[in-house]
Amino acid sequence: MEGLPILSLMLLVPMVGAAACLFSGDKAARAIALAATLINLALGIALWVNFDIGGPQWQFTERAPIFAGFSWALGIDGIALMLIVLSVFLMPICILASASIDKRVGEYMAAFLFMETLMIGVFAAQDLYLFYIFFEAGLIPMYLIIGIWGGQNRIYAAYKFFLYTLLGSVLMLIAMLWMVNEAGTTDIPTLMAYDFPVKAQTWLWLAFFASFAVKMPMWPVHTWLPDAHVQAPTAGSVILAGVLLKMGGYGFIRFSLPMFPEASSQLMWVIFALSMIAVVVTSLIALVQHDMKKLIAYSSVAHMAIVTVGLFSFNVQGLEGSMIVMLSHGLVSGALFLCVGVIYDRLHTREIDRYGGLAINMPKYALFFMLFTMASIGLPGTSGFVGEFLSLAGIYQVSSWVAFVCTTGIILGAAYMLYLYRRIAFGEQKNADAAAMPDLSWREWLMLGPIAAAVLWMGVYPESFLAPMRADIQALDARLARAAPEGDARLTINKTAPAKAAAEPAAHEGAH
C-alpha cells in the first residue's frame, strides 16, 4: 500500500463514475454507480485494515501545494477513518435503495457519486480551505437531490435546507480567513495545536458554531431537517441522516474543541442548554407525528443532542461515546429511513395510519424494523446503547443536571419509537392495500442485512470501532485538560477516616 495515494483514489473513483453516469443510459448508470461505490467500499475496507492502530496520528497523508499556502493535503486519523468507513458503507446501499427512481437516472446517480467524493473529502481534508470547499460543496448535490427527485413540496424543502446551511458557512469562512492570517498556515493538524488568544477564541468558536449547529442540527436551527427528510428520496434521507449530520459533530471534534479549548469551556453551557431543550422538545414532537419520516427526523435531532453534550463533557467517555453515537446513528437512522422507503415504495404514502398489521404479511420486514427500532431506543447489545451510555456517563461527570435531563431521552425515545412501531407493524390489518404488500425482496435484504449485522457488531464488540480512535481521543482529551470544567459532583470523603479514604484512591481521583 505504500506510496499509493489511496485517499485521492477514493475521491477520484466516484468522480469518474459520476462523469460516466452523466453520459450513459439508465441501466448503465445504475451499474456504474453500484460498481463505483463498491470499489470505494473495498478501498475503505483496505483503509481500515491498513490503518496502523498505535502508529502516527495522521496516516495515508498526501500533500501537493497548489498556490499561496493552499494545498491538496489529505490524511486521516482514527476519527476520520471511522466516518469515511461509514460513508463508503452506506453508499452502495443508497444506490440499491434508488431502484424506484425513474426520472433522470444518470443525473441522479452522478449527484450521489459526486456527493460521495465530497463526503470523503470533508473527512480526509487536512487543509483548512480544502475542508471548506468540500464542506460547503456538499450542499449542492443534496440540494439537487431534494429539489429534483424529492416529493411534492420539494422546492420549499430544498430552499430551506440551502438557506439554513448557507447562513452558518459565511461566518465560518470569515473565521477561517482570520485564523489563517493569525497562525500563518492552513494546515489543520498545525492549527489543532495552535493556541489562539483566548479573547479571539470566543468569536471564532461562535462563527464555527453557527455552521456546525445548523449541520448537526441543534435546536432551534433544526427545522430544515424534518422538511428535507420528508421531501428527499429514500437514499437522500439515508445519506442526509447517515453522513451529512455527522459533519457537524466532526466539525466540533476537529475544529471547535482542539482549536478553541478555552472558548469551548466557557461556552459549553450554550451547548448544554440547547441540547437539553432538544432532547426533551424534539422527542415530544416526535411523539405526535403522523408522518413516518418526520418522526424519525425529529428523533435524529434528539440523538444528535446526545452527541453534542458528550463532545462537550471534556472527558474520554463523552468523546468516545459521541463518536459511537454518530456512527450508530448513521447506521440506525439510515436503516430506519430505508425501512420507511421499503413500504413507501409499495404504498406511496408516509402517513403512519395508512399502515398497520405489517407483522402479518411482512414478518421479515417486521423483524428488521424491530431490530432498528430497538437500536434507536438504545437497547444494550445494539450499537445505540454503547454510544448513548458512554456519552451520558461522560456528561454525568460534568453535570448531573444535564445528564438527568438528557437521560430522560431514553424514556421518551422508547415511547415514540414503540408507538410508531405499534402503529405500523402491529394491530389488525386495517387497509387492504397495506395488507397485500409483499415481504422483503432480495434487493431489500441486501440493503438491510449488512446494516443489521453492523448494528449488532457495534453493540456487542465495539472495540473494533473504538480501537482506531482511542489514541486520537486521548490526545484530544489531553489538549482539553487545561480547560476542562470541574464537575458538579464535588465528591468528598471525610478526612476523619484517613485509613479508609487512603484505601480508596480511585474515589479521590474522581473528585478532581
Partner 1 sequence: MHPILVIVFLPLLAAIVAGLGNRMLGNVVAKSITTGALFVSAALSWPIFISYLGHGAEATVVPVMKWVASGALTFDWALRVDALTAVMLVVITSVSALVHLYSWGYMAEDTDQPRFFAYLSLFTFAMLMLVTADNLVQMFFGWEGVGLASYLLIGFWFKKPSANAAAIKAFVVNRVGDLGFMLGIFGTFLVFQTTSIPEILAAAPAMKGVSHITFLGMRLDTMTILCLLLFVGAMGKSAQLGLHTWLPDAMEGPTPVSALIHAATMVTAGVFMVCRLSPMFEAAPVALSFVTFIGAATCLFAATVGTTQWDIKRVIAYSTCSQLGYMFFAAGVGAYGAAMFHLFTHAFFKALLFLGAGSVIHAMHHEQDMRYYGDLRKHIPITFWAMLAGTLAITGVGIAGVFGFAGFYSKDAIIEAAFASGSEFGRTAFWLGAFAALLTSFYSWRLMFLTFWGKARWADSEHIQHAVHGQHESPDEEHGDTTHANVHPHEGTAGYHPHESPWSMLVPLVLLSIGAIFAGYVFHHAFLEDPEFWNGAIAWNEHIMHAMHEVPTWVKLTATVVMLIGLGLAWLAYGRQSSLPGKTAEQLGPVYRFLYNKWYFDELYNFLFVRPAFWLGRQFWKRGDEGLIDRFGPDGAAWAVEKGAVGARLAQSGNLTTYALVMLLGLVAAISWVLV
Q: Segment 350-409, which members bind partner 1 (CB under 8 A)?
A: 357, 359-360, 363, 374, 379-381, 385-386, 389-390, 392-393, 396-397, 400-401, 403-404, 407-408
CA-wise closest residue to 330 among 242, 457, 246: 242
Alpha helices in 184-291 (DSSP H): 188-193, 198-215, 224-231, 234-239, 245-251, 257-259, 261-266, 268-287
Whole-Å CA distances, 449 to 369, 372, 458: 11, 11, 14
Q: Which amino acid is at 176?
A: M
* Closer by beta carbon to partner 1, 129 or else 396: 396
Closest approach of partner 1 to the CB of residue 410, in Å? 6
* Whole-angstrom distance, CA of residue 390 vs CA of residue 33: 37
* Closer by beta carbon to partner 1, 466 or else 483: 466
Chain positions 202 to 221 lying near partner 1, rule: CB under 8 A, are 220-221
391, three cell numbers: 456519552
Closest approach of partner 1 to the CB of residue 509, in Å? 6
* Closer by beta carbon to partner 1, 29 or else 286: 286
Burial class (CB in 10 A: 0-12, 13-18, 19+), 263: buried
Closest approach of partner 1 to the CB of residue 223, in Å? 5
Chain positions 156 to 195 lying near partner 1, rule: CB under 8 A, are 159-160, 163-164
Closest approach of partner 1 to the CB of residue 226, in Å? 8
* Closer by beta carbon to partner 1, 180 or else 352: 352
Residue of the chain from 181, 199, 494, 512 that contacts partner 1 (CB under 8 A): 494
In this structure, the chain runs to a length of 512
Chain positions 90 to 129 lying near partner 1, rule: CB under 8 A, are none
Whole-Å CA distances, 15 to 4, 89, 256, 365: 18, 17, 30, 34
* Closer by beta carbon to partner 1, 45 or else 497: 497
Task: Output b/e per residue, 40-66; b: 16+ Cβ within 10 A.
Answer: bbebbeebbeebeeeeeebbbeeeeee
* Closer by beta carbon to partner 1, 119 or else 343: 343
CA-wise closest residue to 232 among 97, 353, 88, 121: 97
User: In sequence order, what E strands does 327-421 have?
Assistant: none
Tell whether residue 224 is a contact of partner 1 (CB under 8 A). Answer: yes
**Binding pattern for the stretch 459-478 against partner 1, x by CB under 8 A and - elsewhere:** -xxxx--x----------x-
Chain positions 410 to 449 lying near partner 1, rule: CB under 8 A, are 410-412, 414-415, 418-419, 422, 425-428
**Which segment (22-30, 88-96, 265-273, 311-319) binds partner 1 by CB under 8 A?**
311-319
Chain positions 252 to 291 lying near partner 1, rule: CB under 8 A, are 281-282, 284-289
- For 88-99, give the DSSP string: HHHHHHHHHHTT
Closest approach of partner 1 to the CB of residue 417, in Å? 10
* Closer by beta carbon to partner 1, 24 or else 382: 382
Residue of the chain from 25, 65, 197, 510 that contacts partner 1 (CB under 8 A): 510
Burial class (CB in 10 A: 0-12, 13-18, 19+), 277: middle
